[in-house]
Structure 1
Amino acid sequence: MAQEMPKKGFVGTLKEVYWELCRPNDRFDYLQFFLGEIPGYLGLLWRKKIYSRHFKSAGKNLTVYQGVRIRNIHCMSVGDDVYLGLENNFQAGGGLTIGDRVAFGPGCKVWTINHKFDDLETPIMEQGYDFKPVSIGNDVWLAANVFIMPGVEIPDGCIIAAGSVIGVKKYPPYSIISGNPARVIGNRLKNKEKEESEDKS
């Protein structure tokens, strides 16, 4: 059963909000509520400037589109030329590293935390969480509505097809990955080698 929020009254609520604003991570949640839906160039400019200060580390040329939601931004590192797409959702509490030149399509989700559920005698909501870092390499494109599960490592050069659910598995660099559960359906290096051999013949 979900735990009920204690009733604090008006003064108690103001005190709670004050203490939230004193904590950097909670303060960022309020900031992204106000900045997250600002459209156009102004929104892109403000989100880039303000979000970059809160990441664990941030590279150059960050783009954060409308509707991006990040939990535990202080546990998230992004490289150069990263595009966080429309309505992306990141839970970075377990640690999230994103390389250079990574683009997320609309509706992508990356999760680094999962509920524990091994103890059958204890309700799942009372068993706590597993924290497993996610790593995304350089030059990766995640198409619309991709879901990355905790503990996943995506190597350089991969393409993730729209709607894929990526679980923990060994993926070769430059893989084309698709499905739920996801599997490798091609490799960009092999495609290039095949094209070059056909050109020579």
Structure 2
Amino acid sequence: MKIRIYNYLVRFWTFVFMLLPNIFCFFFYKFLECLPFIFISPIRVALLKSLGAKIGTSVIVSHGVEIRSPDCLILGDRVSIQRGCYIDAAGGVNIGNDVSIAHGCSILSFEHDWSNKNIPIRENDAIYAPVSIGNDVWIGCQCILLSGSQLDGNCIVAAGSVVTKSLIGSRASLIAGVPGRVVKKIRTGY
């Protein structure tokens, strides 16, 4: 029953925010980032949808979550993003169903090139590469997923890990370390 009400609220607020200019929705989302109340989560989700994010059902976006380029963000069903997370989706971020992202995680879909030595590094071009997270993934607190990262489904990323590349073949695995790598299989039959 609660999920049905939650999803109804998301649909209602999405309809309301679609009638408003994007600039209003953007500033209202920034305002709501700092409000900790759980009943504000459907409004946050609705605002992200109105700004172009593709979001499934029963998604929770906690307070203090900063999302850049929401129009390049895809969230599946039953995704939970906890407080203090930062997602820059400029290069594309696709998160599957049943994904839990613990507090303080960063997901970055671009990096800076530093090949042109004639200009400062910060002024070099940005290199965009999508980040893809499969279904049924748990990302522990303070993890970082850098551009080009790919995770198969049914895996756990240990707290504090830094995923720097595609880990296709990581299905049913525990990923840990800096840089992140498969340290052991956690389920059989995958």
* TM-score, normalisation: structure 1: 0.78
Structure with higher Rg: it is 1
SS in 2 for 1:70: strand
Q: What is the identity, as a one-letter code, of the residue corresponding to 1:132?
A: A
Q: 182, 185, 189: which one pairs with 1:184?
A: 182
Q: What is the identity, as a one-letter code, of the residue corresponding to 2:99?
A: V
Aligned partners of 1:162, 1:70: CA distance in 2, in Å? 21
| Stretches of structure 2 lacking an aligned partner (at least 5 in a row) | 1-19
* TM-score, normalisation: structure 2: 0.82
Identity of aligned residues (%): 29
Considering fraction of residues, name the structure with more helix: 1
**Corresponding residue number in structure 1 for 2:16:** none
Aligned partners of 2:154, 2:137: CA distance in 1, in Å? 5
SS in 2 for 1:159: strand
Give the conservation status (yes or no) of the 8 Å contact 2:111–2:126.
Answer: yes
Deviations 1:65-93 (A, max 9, x none): 01000000000000000001111100000
Deviations 1:88-108 (A, max 9, x none): 100000011000000100000
Aligned partners of 1:97, 1:170: CA distance in 2, in Å? 15
**Corresponding residue number in structure 1 for 2:70:** 73
- In the TM superposition, structure 1's runs of 4+ consecutive aligned residues that sit over 3 Å from their partners are 26-29
Aligned partners of 2:24, 2:111: CA distance in 1, in Å? 24
Q: CA RMSD in A?
A: 2.0
Aligned partners of 2:32, 2:70: CA distance in 1, in Å? 15
More moved, 64-73 vs 41-50 = 41-50
Aligned partners of 2:38, 2:120: CA distance in 1, in Å? 47
Q: What is the identity, as a one-letter code, of the residue corresponding to 1:89?
A: Y
Across the two proteins, how many residue pairs are aligned to each other? Answer: 170
Give the conservation status (yes or no) of the 8 Å contact 1:37–1:43.
Answer: no
**Corresponding residue number in structure 1 for 2:9:** none
Q: Residues 23 and 168 from structure 1, CA distance in 2 versus in 1: closer, same or farther, beyond 3 angstroms? A: farther
Give the conservation status (yes or no) of the 8 Å contact 2:26–2:47.
Answer: no
